[in-house]
Amino acid sequence: MLWWLALPLALARLLWRGRVQPGYRHRLGERLASRRSHTPRADIWIHAVSVGEVQAAEALLRQLLATTPAPSLLVTTTTPTGAERLRTLFGETIPQRYLPFDLPVMMGRLVDAVQPKLVIILETEIWPNLLAVLEQRAIPVALINARLSERSARGYARLGSLTRSALARLTLIAAQATADAERFIALGAPPERVIVTGNLKFDQPQAADLAARAAAIRQNWGAARPVWIAASTHAGEELPVLEAHQQVLAQWPDALLVLVPRHPERFETVAALIERQGLAYTRHSAERPVAAHEAVYLGDRMGELPLWLAASDVAFIGGSLMPTGGHNPLEAAASGVPILVGPHTFNFATISAWLLDAHAARRISDTATLSDAVRTLLASSERRAEMGARGRAVVAAQRGALQRVFIALAPWLAAAVQAPLNSDQTSRNCASVESPSHSNPTDSVQTT
């Protein structure tokens, strides 16, 4: 009953978000699991809530497409930006649908339409009614690249038996790190179903033309200008970032700040803030070169962040100045860009710690320390190169999660494609989507 009572509020929120992001208003039938919404059958159904999860799933999806025989796939997302990212990566090769609200009748309707042999969920999405429906139909479900911050664990703990019963319905939990695995077990996950496989995002393939495209956009920005980026910023962060940039401009009058808000519905708010600060700016959507007097480039399009990071000299990772928990710094590290993070990095605590310990990242706390760090790095190409090389080394050292996840899923994947998957095929497929310099790990799946 409580689920149904919450439905009007959920619909109202969806329509409200649709005022700024029209994608939320489209295909509402899918969000309600309407029988009129054509949903294709699929051997394997993968749920990736948004952009970050879709990117984490990319290597696995490419590996599944390379499997012989290849299973039929379906990807569900919750956000339009996640759907757009999937289309950018795979075109129409993999069908995409929106996940409906977590009500038994809606989830049951979707599961019966898809008829999956295996369901794979990315990272932190725990939907009690979906898991109950899958259990009723004896469909295995794996939570992969699973992570759980201390804050999220406390929230789930307050739900008590609801969390325990949901976790008990998972066939497999492949956690990113030991700390994540321990939190899942503490919340009630059966220990024998929890393993540690590492983070799939370390194995995310980098576009072959990324460096060339980054060089081209630097020409658009002004090839000789020093450039720093504030990526995935949240409310309360843009003002200190802009204030820090004004201090940077005092030393480098031609410096450019690439400012990329995390959520598209905030683009106009951030544009107004830039104007109030008296800074000349342009927007990505203007589709023109940046003028010499323009000090800020507002990244008002989703899906371009990897390119903008690769084209920047220094990267500040947003969500970390405010107690939001920070966003993933791996894309910056993989591109060899020096990283700055604020005091709040609990969403990616392990990754942040690795980068900080390797001196590939530096922690800042406010406008003054952010400005100081940016100016210090812009002043030294040698220091930037050293930090960038250390970041790339961290990424290279942590690769291998893809193969470990594939090995862990092998029994259910074999059932889904109705053919055995041997270790030789697993290794070949993994090598085909990973960096050429990657050495496949020889250790087996690590259990907690």
Whether 53 is a known active-site residue: answer yes
Q: Which string of DSSP letters, residue by residue, matches 221-232?
A: H-TTS-EEEEEE
Query: Measuring CA to CA, how many Å separate 212 from each of 166, 192, 412, 433?
Result: 46, 46, 40, 20
Q: How far apart are CA 360 and CA 334, in angstroms?
A: 11
Structure tokens at 323: 């107690």
Q: How far apart are CA 76 and CA 37, in angstroms?
A: 14
Q: Give the ranges where 225-343 is alpha helix by DSSP (H).
A: 238-251, 267-276, 305-310, 330-334
Residue 325 CA from chain centroid, whole number: 14
Q: Which string of DSSP letters, residue by residue, matches 16-50?
A: HHTTT-GGGTTTHHHHTT-TTS-----SEEEE--S
Structure tokens at 267: 């683009």
CA dihedral angle for residue 161, residue 154, residue 156, residue 197, rounded to 10 degrees: -110
Structure tokens at 11: 């619909």
261 prior amide bond cis, ω within 30: no
Q: How far apart are CA 17 and CA 313, in angstroms?
A: 34
Closest-CA residue to 145 (of 61, 43, 41): 61
Closest-CA residue to 137 (of 171, 162, 160): 171
The answer for residues whose C-beta is within 8 angstroms of residue 125's C-beta and 6 or more apart is 47, 49, 53, 143
Exposed/middle/buried for residue 59 (C-beta within 10 Å: 0-12, 13-18, 19+)? buried
Handedness of CA 30, 31, 36, 41 (dihedral sign): positive
The one catalytic residue among 53, 58, 237, 238 = 53
Residue 227 and residue 312 in contact, taking contact as beta carbons nearer than 8 Å: yes
Residue positions annotated with a catalytic role = 53
